[in-house]
Chains A and B, each alone.
Chain A
Amino acid sequence: MTYIASSSFVRHDLVSERPAPVKTTGFIGWVRTRLFNSPTNILLTILGALLLWFTIVPSVKFLMVDAVWSGNDRTACLTENAGFAVGACWPYIQAKLPQLIYGFYPEAERWRVNLTFVLAAVLLVPMLVPRLPAKGLNAGLFFFAFPVVAFFLLHGGGIKGFGLSWTAGLLELFDDSIIGAGNVLLNLSKTSAIAPLLWVIGNLIMLVGTAIHWLVFPLIWLRDQIQGSGQSVWGDFAITTVVASLIAFILGGGLRTGWRALVSSIATFIAIAIVIKLMGLDHGGLPVVQTSLWGGLLVTLVVSVTGIVTSLPIGIALALGRRSTIPLIRIFSIAFIEFWRGVPLITVLFFATYMLPLFLPGNFTVDGLVRALIGIALFTGAYQAENVRGGLAAIPRGQGEAAAALGLSWWKTTSLIVLPQALRHVIPNLVNSFISLFKDTSLVSIVALFDLLGSLRASFSDPKWSTPSTAFTGFAFAGIIYFIFCFGMSRYSLFVEHRLNAHRRN
């Protein structure tokens, strides 16, 4: 032992580690392993670099270096006047910016559009940030209150009555159509071969119609009284508040547990009253701006937000219908979903534009924008149904069975146990189909609505700005806007997916 210890050749401590060769670490190592590790890869790297060089350099040159930044008309963007090969013609975008964002919305009223955009952003951002509280209230405001407020802000106009007169009107329409159908059957029974049967059915329907007529009569009488009294909106509002709050109170559990429902119902109605008062809806509201004047980014956003808001309930209803065991409802849902998923959106828009007016009573005209919205809502609803169905299928059966064991009804099982979990599951898919909806809104320009792309195309034909680079400039601008929206949404969907799969990561 002593012999070894005294030996001068033995080290007492470890040799310190040598640094790795420069070739394998840091930037050089990365370049060697990821870019130049084999002859093929060297070739591919050169190829990729050339590809980037021939796409990025000309684009940057076009958008920045060679661009013209100021001017009043096309002469500023011509090569003869500028003295160099002109790239993007930005003064053209500057001149057309109002048209690209608002369309022909009257200049004095554009604050309404801006206010709507701000409202949407204020409601949307807290909903998207997972850490912020009160998601339910926020979603309620965005999906129910915001569309109504936005309608009265953008379109203008006021209301003549409230819940009571709407309900009365709807019931009256329903009753009229029932009596009408009965009359048709009675008329048919005079000529048909199965006359007695038709006569019986017709009379039965007439009987039902008359019964409903007498049932709704008090409601109609009350409405007429209120309409005559001068304070039609507020009187109607007060009665609706009382009735709806009472119903909420009783459904909420009456004297035992209904207080919470009562308070929230009254609070909702107070909020509605404030909105009505603020916007002056009871006496005419804001001046009406016809939808034919809307355009640009406004139409793109209106169509996509309406599509998002309306397609989700349609999709949930269809998905539940498809999973239902009741034969007729299941068959109807399957047929409906497969039909809309099987046809291209453009034929749906043609259907909504040319066929829908034929299906409605002759004196009933539907606004062009609304027709397109109906088409898009049905189309997107079918796609959302398949998304939601995927989420429903992912919920273990035990969840539903546990709820049944606790004695919950089908409605409570679905709305309290299954749907909340299923919808959470499919948020990324829903966002992805909103991205394709947002992209598909550009199709409304084919049926003569001026969305962002339609306005852009219309602006190309302006002789004041026709230069060789106008088209490229316009497409660059619109492309950037579309890209920001879609890319943002896709990143958000990735983020949510990551968050939802947190338990699977290790």
Chain B
Amino acid sequence: MSTEARKPPAQIALKIRRILGGKAGWNGVAVQFAFAAILGWIGYEIVSNARANLENQHIAAGFGFLRNNAGFDVNQTLISYTGSDTFLRVFVVGLLNTLVVSVVGIFFATAIGFIVALCRLSPNWLLSRVGEIYVEIIRNLPLLFQILFWYLAVLAALPNPRQSISLLGIAFISNRGLVIPRPIGESGFEPFLAMLVLGIVVSLGLRFYARRALFQRGQVIRIWPSVLALLFGLPLATMLVFGLPFTFELPQLKGFNFAGGSRIIPEFVALTVALSTYTAAFIAEIVRAGILSVHKGQMEAGSSLGLSRGATLRLIVVPQAMRVIVPPLTNQYLNLTKNSSLAVAIGYPDLVSVFAGTSLSQTGQAIEIIAMTMGVYLLISLVTSAVMSVYGWRVSRSLGA
């Protein structure tokens, strides 16, 4: 008579079943087979139909068209581009334009968003109402509506270049866009730039050293005078030695338009204004929610330790609020980048407009072009979400420690 416990049944079969079919077991495996068959059938239909349709339209599939000449002009390019360049170059030009409008938009959206959030949190009744009205109005109107409003109503109502609005005689606003002085590099430019970079690097090093001294030895080092000297004094001194780093070419009114200076096209202005004000409304709500999420006791604890209000905010409230703010804020930055594709409605030459718009209608390579365009946005958003998950992991780790 054995009293030994029975051995548990072999786990391998169960584990395999779990991996292959999930909790549903062999039923799950069957479901997967059916699902794969349906997917395969749909995929087969799509491929065969696409092949037949392309043959009918005499379009050669593949990315060979990227080496062909584009043959159309783009009215804002960051890199040199002419009509005789290839479609690949058009792709890069469009991508750069998208990135430029996104970065500028993100900068202004963040600035406006934080200001509006501070307004809404202000104890001043009138100011918080003004912030609330701004958020409600902007959030409840479609973005495309706002872009078209700025472009078709506001900017179109500006005077023509001959009656343009002058800002101190150096910048001019008209319905052809904003004309600003253009910096032209002189002989002193390179040393100037080198000194500027050096100043920034050394200042960062100083700050790092000062913080270490503070945290390890409790020694307070005042670094701002030397940082000021490094950031402004050093380049200024180079300027005295090597001469001016650059001069400005002022725009001049010649005939019906401006000559000289750099022109910011009205499409860019309309798109930036609409994108940044629209996203700012959402950012304001995020920031407000983040700051409200920090418990009131934190502020009180800070002042009971004898910290000033500014120091409490800077050292206690904001770092905790940032943890709540950063993930949705990144999401808004991503939204802004994706929304910049609405440029196609007003003809700003972004990726969608020049590549998925003009190039598509010229070549008819719908599948390749739309796949490339979608791929770019998908890549941007996947990279951002990967970075965000690393951030979330670090935050949760630092909280756990």
Known: A361-B49, A439-B143. A41 touches B28 (CB 8 A): no
Check: B14 CB closer than 8 A to any chain A CB.
no
Q: Do residues B49 and A342 form an inter-chain contact, with CB atoms below 8 A?
A: no
Check: B41 CB closer than 8 A to any chain A CB.
yes
Q: Do residues A479 and B145 form an inter-chain contact, with CB atoms below 8 A?
A: yes
Check: A417 CB closer than 8 A to any chain B CB.
no
Stretch at the interface among A14-22, A82-90, A117-125, A440-448: A440-448
Check: A275 CB closer than 8 A to any chain B CB.
no
Q: Do residues B22 and A326 form an inter-chain contact, with CB atoms below 8 A?
A: yes
Check: A217 CB closer than 8 A to any chain B CB.
no
The secondary-structure label for the interface of chain B is helix
A489 and B52 alpha carbons, distance in the complex (Å): 46
Task: Encode A327-344 as 1/0 by CB contact (under 8 A) with B.
Answer: 111101000001101111
Check: B76 CB closer than 8 A to any chain A CB.
no
Check: A111 CB closer than 8 A to any chain B CB.
no
Question: Chain B residues near A342 (CB, 8 Å)?
Answer: 377-378, 381-382
Which residues from 238 to 252 on chain A have a C-beta closer than 8 Å to any C-beta of chain B? none
Question: Chain A residues near B39 (CB, 8 Å)?
Answer: 332
Contact of B140 among A325, A347, A443, A487 (CB under 8 A): A487
Question: Chain B residues near A442 (CB, 8 Å)?
Answer: 142, 144-145
Q: Do residues A328 and B352 form an inter-chain contact, with CB atoms below 8 A?
A: no
A446 and B348 alpha carbons, distance in the complex (Å): 14
Which residues from 471 to 486 on chain A have a C-beta closer than 8 Å to any C-beta of chain B? 471-472, 475, 478-479, 482-483, 486
Q: Do residues A326 and B28 form an inter-chain contact, with CB atoms below 8 A?
A: yes
Task: Point out which of A177, A326, A359, A472 has the most chain B C-beta atoms below 10 A from its C-beta.
Answer: A326
Question: Chain B residues near A184 (CB, 8 Å)?
Answer: 48
Question: Chain A residues near B122 (CB, 8 Å)?
Answer: 44
Check: A113 CB closer than 8 A to any chain B CB.
no
Q: Do residues A354 and B370 form an inter-chain contact, with CB atoms below 8 A?
A: yes
Q: Do residues A343 and B378 form an inter-chain contact, with CB atoms below 8 A?
A: yes
Q: How far is the CB of B97 from chain A (nearest CB, A)?
A: 15
Check: A221 CB closer than 8 A to any chain B CB.
no
A332 and B38 alpha carbons, distance in the complex (Å): 13
The secondary-structure label for the interface of chain A is helix
Q: Do residues A326 and B153 form an inter-chain contact, with CB atoms below 8 A?
A: no
Q: Do residues B145 and A482 form an inter-chain contact, with CB atoms below 8 A?
A: yes
Q: Do residues B140 and A490 form an inter-chain contact, with CB atoms below 8 A?
A: yes
Which residues from 47 to 66 on chain B have a C-beta closer than 8 Å to any C-beta of chain A? 48-50, 52-54, 56
Q: Do residues B19 and A327 form an inter-chain contact, with CB atoms below 8 A?
A: yes
A341 and B21 alpha carbons, distance in the complex (Å): 27
Check: B45 CB closer than 8 A to any chain A CB.
yes
Q: Do residues A327 and B141 form an inter-chain contact, with CB atoms below 8 A?
A: no
Question: Chain B residues near A235 (CB, 8 Å)?
Answer: none
Stretch at the interface among B83-91, B163-171, B268-276, B339-347: B339-347
A184 and B48 alpha carbons, distance in the complex (Å): 11
Task: Encode A348-362 as 1/0 by CB contact (under 8 A) with B.
Answer: 001100110111111
Question: Chain A residues near B141 (CB, 8 Å)?
Answer: 439, 479, 482-483, 486
Task: Encode B131-156 as 1/0 by CB contact (under 8 A) with A.
Answer: 00000110111111100110011001
Check: B20 CB closer than 8 A to any chain A CB.
yes
A/B pair count, beta carbons within 8 Å? 169
Q: Do residues A443 and B36 form an inter-chain contact, with CB atoms below 8 A?
A: no
Check: A181 CB closer than 8 A to any chain B CB.
yes
Q: Do residues A482 and B140 form an inter-chain contact, with CB atoms below 8 A?
A: yes
Q: Do residues B142 and A457 form an inter-chain contact, with CB atoms below 8 A?
A: no
Check: A284 CB closer than 8 A to any chain B CB.
no
Q: How far is the CB of B278 from chain A (nearest CB, A)?
A: 10
Check: A114 CB closer than 8 A to any chain B CB.
no
Check: A52 CB closer than 8 A to any chain B CB.
yes
A41 and B53 alpha carbons, distance in the complex (Å): 68
A475 and B152 alpha carbons, distance in the complex (Å): 10
Check: B312 CB closer than 8 A to any chain A CB.
no
Known: A44-B124, A339-B378. A358 touches B41 (CB 8 A): no
Q: How far is the CB of A402 from chain B (nearest CB, A)?
A: 17
Question: Chain A residues near B28 (CB, 8 Å)?
Answer: 325-326
Q: Do residues B367 and A358 form an inter-chain contact, with CB atoms below 8 A?
A: yes
Q: How far is the CB of A42 from chain B (nearest CB, A)?
A: 9
Known: A327-B19, A342-B378, A457-B152. A357 touches B53 (CB 8 A): yes
Check: A75 CB closer than 8 A to any chain B CB.
no
A49 and B139 alpha carbons, distance in the complex (Å): 22
Check: B182 CB closer than 8 A to any chain A CB.
no
Question: Chain A residues near B377 (CB, 8 Å)?
Answer: 342-344, 347
Q: Do residues A343 and B344 form an inter-chain contact, with CB atoms below 8 A?
A: no
Task: Encode A69-113 as 1/0 by CB contact (under 8 A) with B.
Answer: 000000000000000000000000000000000000000000000
Question: Chain B residues near A329 (CB, 8 Å)?
Answer: 31-32, 35
Question: Chain B residues near A49 (CB, 8 Å)?
Answer: 126
Task: Encode A33-66 as 1/0 by CB contact (under 8 A) with B.
Answer: 0110100010011011101100000000000000
Check: A258 CB closer than 8 A to any chain B CB.
no
Known: A51-B130, A358-B50, A487-B140. A346 touches B32 (CB 8 A): no
Check: A324 CB closer than 8 A to any chain B CB.
yes
Q: How far is the CB of B320 from chain A (nearest CB, A)?
A: 23
Which residues from 410 to 437 on chain A have a C-beta closer than 8 Å to any C-beta of chain B? 410, 435
Q: Do residues A453 and B31 form an inter-chain contact, with CB atoms below 8 A?
A: no
Check: A468 CB closer than 8 A to any chain B CB.
yes
Q: Do residues A44 and B127 form an inter-chain contact, with CB atoms below 8 A?
A: yes
Task: Encode B353-396 as 1/0 by CB contact (under 8 A) with A.
Answer: 00010001000001100100110011001100000000000000
Query: Top 5 nearest A-B pairs by Cβ distance?
Result: A325-B22, A486-B140, A344-B338, A439-B142, A34-B125
Q: Which residues of A contact B (CB under 8 A)?
A: 34-35, 37, 41, 44-45, 47-49, 51-52, 177, 181, 184, 324-330, 332, 338-339, 341-344, 346-347, 350-351, 354-355, 357-362, 410, 435, 439-443, 445-446, 453, 457, 460, 468, 471-472, 475, 478-479, 482-483, 486-487, 490
Interface CB pairs A-B, < 8 A, 14: A35-B125, A44-B126, A181-B44, A184-B48, A325-B24, A327-B32, A350-B360, A350-B373, A351-B374, A359-B49, A359-B50, A453-B144, A457-B148, A479-B145
Question: Apart from A325-B23, A358-B49, what 5 extra A-B contacts exist at CB < 8 Å?
Answer: A327-B20, A362-B52, A446-B342, A478-B145, A486-B141
